[in-house]
Amino acid sequence: MRPPIRFGVWALVHGSRAALQDPDEPYDASWDRNRRLVQEAEALGFDSTLVAQHTINPHDGVSDQLEAWTASAALAALTERIEIITAIKPYLYHPVVLAKMALQIEHISHGRAAINLVNAWNRPELERAGIGFPDHDERYVYGHEWISVVERLMRGERVTHSGRHFHVQDYMLRPADPYRERPRIYIGGESEPARVLAADQGDVWFINGQPLPDVARLIADVGSRPRRGGPLRFGLSAFVIARDTAAEAEQALAHLFALAAKDAPIRAVQHANTDANSVMAQTMAKTPRVGSNGGTAAGLVGSYDEVAARIAAFNAAGIETFMLQFQPFEAEMRRFAAEVAPRVRRLGVGEGRALP
């Protein structure tokens, strides 16, 4: 049985997603722009927004960068329906502090908060703060213990925990969640430790944009692993370029590639700052693409009908939540809502609805 389809948008926490020097989308990572974008996405019918977390800009360290958790709290108060998924790097927040923040946003939003646990890939963000940057697998050991504490606290349990990294004594957060058991947990990452973490602690596993056969293999692997609770859900990041014809879409893609080429010096710095053991970085290097987290590698480039059909195929493979990128973002988001989303519905694929 197909899962329902839910469409989300990436908040522009560090500006444009494909090319940073686009005359049609000047760099803007401001709170005002992100507020307007998320409110419009909600009005257009999008189901979720993902607010990525960085304290310093991952592209060059000097450009503007939106702060994720304060912004998410404000978005919670200014929206009514859209799910607000806020990313978190565990080394930056003690679990009792983050659990309290997540519960507060859950209250502000009336049950629309979610955590996206990512275990960090950008070295300077942690190293320059004096936190340190442990190796890849050790970051997942830390993250696994961290989320195990956060998860219980978000449930309203009285927690005593003594582990390798955290010692929590008789801790309970109030008020508890009046809307559901706890805020939803999304897990990112595709390495073996990330897959273990997703199966053990996640509600939804986010997969980076890549071709359908690769996505289907990832879903088959992690979806078959033993876990507590209900079945794991799956999400996919993808950059969309949809036009009346496939030729027009390819022309638009070529235009973005040309613009993205201007960012080569910035991308080189970002590449040098990225953990070489990150599976995301290794996967992204396989296929030329624009956009982050896989971008156009998912193949959502083509005519309106082609893009709708490819979304339906991903959905048939098990993808429920499509976290989408566009450029120029607002104009292309409107185009998607007007032209692609209705075609997906006409294919008989389930419309978006809140996850239980």
pLDDT one-digit tens code per residue, 24-54? 999 999 999 999 999 999 999 999 999 999 9
With bands split at pLDDT 50, 70 and 90, how would you rate the model's confidence at 138?
Answer: very high
Please report, rounded to a whole number, the percentage of residues in the chain having pLDDT higher than 90: 82
pLDDT of residue 22: 95
Is 351 a residue whose pLDDT tops 90?
Answer: no
Options 3.20.20.30, 3.90.180.10, 3.40.50.300, 3.40.50.970; CATH for 6-346 is: 3.20.20.30
Quote the pLDDT of residue 287: 72
301-339 pLDDT, tens per residue? 999 999 999 999 999 999 999 999 999 999 999 999 999
- Which two tokens mark 233? 């859900």
User: What is the band of 353 on the pLDDT scale with cuts at 50, 70, 90?
Assistant: low
Q: Tell me the pLDDT band of 264, cut-offs 50, 70 and 90.
A: confident
For the chain, the average pLDDT equals 93
